[in-house]
Amino acid sequence: MRKIFILSAIFVLSACGGSNGDGSSKSTYSSCKITSSQAIFTADRDNDLKQCWNAGGNGYESQGDAMQWCEKQVNAYIANQYLIGHTVNYAVESTNCK
């Protein structure tokens, strides 16, 4: 009985880690993307929603660290792309950008 429990535990725990189909780790935050935009012009909104950045290395283990990095990427993009900024929402994900 004990052997079955140990094998079951190993199987369950091994399912938690690993990698995604794109090679990124399931246990880290690997990318940042803009999920919504309140830009005035449709073309600007469409362009915003195409933005995605991959984290360097293996990504971030901490969601807080990943969100800080993501915020910097988004702020730099908005500052470089627009004279007058607008509101965007963004998120971090465990997969790489597509």
Q: Quote the pLDDT of residue 54.
A: 98
CB 39 within 8 Å of CB 45: yes
Under-50 pLDDT residues of the chain: 1-15
pLDDT score of 16: 54
- What are the domain boundaries of the chain? 24-93
